[in-house]
Amino acid sequence: MLIHLPVLQVIIPLLAAPLCLFLTKPRLVWLFALIVSGLAFLISGLLLQQVMTSGTIIYDLGGWDAPWGIEYRIDRLNAFLLLIISSISTIVLIAADTSIRKEIPADHHVLFYILYLLSLAGMLGIVATGDAFNVFVFLEISSLSAYALIALGKDRRALWASYQYLIMGTIGATFILIGIGLMYQMTGTLNMEDLSKRLPEVSQTRTVFTAFAFLIVGICLKLAMFPLHLWLPNAYAYAPSIVTAFFAATATKVAIYLLIRFTITVFGLSFSFTHFPLQLLFVVLGLVGIFVASTVAIYQTNVKHLFAYSSIAQIGYMIVGFSMTTMAGMTATLLHLFNHALMKSALFLALGAVMYRIGTTKLTHFQGLGRQMPLTLAAIVIGGLSLIGVPLTVGFVSKWYLVMAAIENGWWPVAALILLGSLLAVVYVWRIVEMAYFKPALAGTETIKEAPLSFLIPIWTLILANIYFGIDTRLSVQVAQAASMSLFGVTP
């Protein structure tokens, strides 16, 4: 059983999705989905433990050897990502039953869980597989279900946001496919490990350059890197709250994973960063992204939009860390992957709770909410503090490592800009605090009660994780460091 873990990780949610159709009762389906996601969480935990102790796990699908068959390759980086995705998915799913009853028509509930599990399976598949074409397949599985999930949103604009995401996502996926196709044309292989060995021989050809450009642009589109982020805010804002919480914490992280995997493992550092000024491009776009997105976030009137823009800014931090191409920078990026997943899932879940109680997340409707929903708003404040990077929260840990990496690189202006960027976060978080605690409640809202327990439990689990991992950094830092070591080929 244990040796089949890599494939079970993906196959369980994938097969569970259609099974939901037989269970018809939404409650039951929810429970089933929760168990499936929980199983995936368990498996990812076991995998991480196994990888950390005994190194990379290689699993040949159907017993076919690597270059011909599909290979699942779990190293520290994959295992870390798998853990992030499956844990967040499970915690978020706890609130799903309550949340979607208010946001999705009853006859779509079963559909919702099917799509959710498919999307989960897709993301886990992208991360687990060691085959470039397989990546594309899982990317399509997760994306197609994502479009449908977003379109389920109560707001009619959800349909349109989903449509835009569909177009952009498809272009991104197509670009990735083109890139993979060109690589296949040059090397005759689709296995990543194999590709990394054969690409150097042909690396100075235009075809490979083109393949690389298509891949990078496709991935950057998927990860909503500035200025390719335009699809994201509306998709996040109009999707059902649970979907937003899940995607904000995982979807872009998977894209970051792809970026790291393709540039560092497949193409290799020397190719990716020397044949054209990718480093400069990424630092600049990352920093501009931080500032532009944070500034735009300040002026948003819908809190979901606000945090969506803040997500784009946070992606900027990860891109900056990535572009340092040092182990410290990579560690910071991976840490931020984990930490940002904790923050954003907590924040968007809390917004889901607000949505559940007052039916909107317009900033003006937050007036006086601090007294009416004290626990939910306290969670938003702590999550916000974490977003700013206040000590004792995870946000601080990742900022610390990022700035340290920048200083280590001698990029002092970058270090200063990163910290200045956090000040912008202070402003947009403050706008919510001001509304919720310093303004009197709106008339006719006296009856608003605290969110139900089914929301509070997952929200506070995540918030406490925000604080716990902000103080006891052993697990997150150790794994992130180990992952970045293995990426750079250093044995610990």
Partner 1 sequence: MWMLEIPPFLPFFIGALIAAITRGILRNVIMLAIPILSGLHLWMVPEGIHLQFAFLDYQLITYRADKLSLMFGYVFHIAAFIGIVYSLHVRDTMQQVAAMMYAGSGLGAVFAGDLLTLFVFWELLAFTSVFLIWARRTKRSYDAGMRYLIIQVLSGVILLIGTLFYASEKGTLEFDYIGLDGIAGWLIFIAIGIKCAFPVAHNWLTDAYPEATVTGTVFLSAFTTKVAVYTFARAYPGTELLIYIGAAMTCFPIFFAVIENDLRRVLAYSLINQVGFMVVGIGIGTALAINGAVSHAFNDVIFKGLLFMSMGAVLHMTGKMNGSELGGLYKTMPKTTILCIVGAASISAFPLFSGFVSKSMVMSAALETGHNWIWLMLLFASAGVFHHAGIKIPYFAFFAHDSGIRANDPPNNMLLAMFIAAVLCIAIGVYPSALYSLLPYDTGYNPYDATHVLAQTQLLFFSALAFVWLNLRGMYPPELKSTNLDFEWIYRRAFPNILQRVFSVIWKTDTAIRQAFLLKLNQTLTFLSRINKGTSNLLSHTYPAGSMVMWVAVILATYLILSFIH
List of residues contacting partner 1 (CB under 8 A): 163-164, 167-168, 171, 175, 206, 209-210, 212-214, 216-217, 220-221, 227-228, 230-231, 233-234, 275-277, 281, 292, 295-296, 298-300, 305, 309, 390-392, 397, 400, 403-404, 407-408, 412, 415-416, 419-420, 422-423, 426, 471, 473, 477
Cβ proximity to partner 1: between 231 and 257 the closer is 231
Residue with tokens 């235009």: 206
Q: Based on CB atoms, which residue is closest to partner 1, 471 or 490? A: 471
Q: Both tokens of residue 288?
A: 């501009």
Distance, in Å, from the CA atom of 152 to the CA atom of 187, rounded to the nearest integer, reads 42
Q: How far is the CB of 95 from partner 1 (least distance, A)?
A: 28
Q: At which residue do the structure tokens 């937050």 appear?
A: 366
Query: Which of 127, 269, 126, 136 has its CA nearest to residue 190?
Result: 136
CB 435 → partner 1: shortest distance, Å?
14
Nearer to partner 1, 156 or 206 (CB): 206
Written as one letter, the residue type at 453 is L
Nearest-angstrom CA–CA distance, 296 and 233:
11
Q: CA-CA distance, 79 to 169, in Å (whole number)?
A: 25
- DSSP one-letter string for 302-313: BHHHHHHHHHHH
Q: Which residue has the tokens 């989960």?
A: 120
Q: How far is CA 287 from the centre of its chain?
A: 19
Tell the smallest beta-carbon distance from residue 213 to partner 1 (Å): 4
Question: Of 395, 348, 342, nearest to 376 (Cα)?
Answer: 348
Q: CA dihedral in degrees (383, 389, 391, 394; nearest 10)?
A: 60
Say which DSSP state 177 is in: H
Specify the DSSP element, H or E, that contains 408.
helix 394-408
Q: Which is nearer to partner 1, 68 or 430 (CB)?
A: 430
Dist CA 90 CA 101 (whole Å): 18
Please, which residue, 212 or 262, has the CB nearer to partner 1?
Answer: 212
Question: Does residue 13 have a cis bond before it (omega within 30 degrees)?
Answer: no
Residue closer to partner 1, measured from CB, 47 or 223: 223
Rounded to the nearest 10 degrees, the angle between the axes of helix 303-323 and helix 241-260 is 10
Q: Which is nearer to partner 1, 84 or 406 (CB)?
A: 406
Encoded amino acid at 126, one letter? I
Class of residue 270 by CB neighbours under 10 A (exposed 0-12, middle 13-18, buried 19+) = exposed
Nearer to partner 1, 70 or 180 (CB): 180
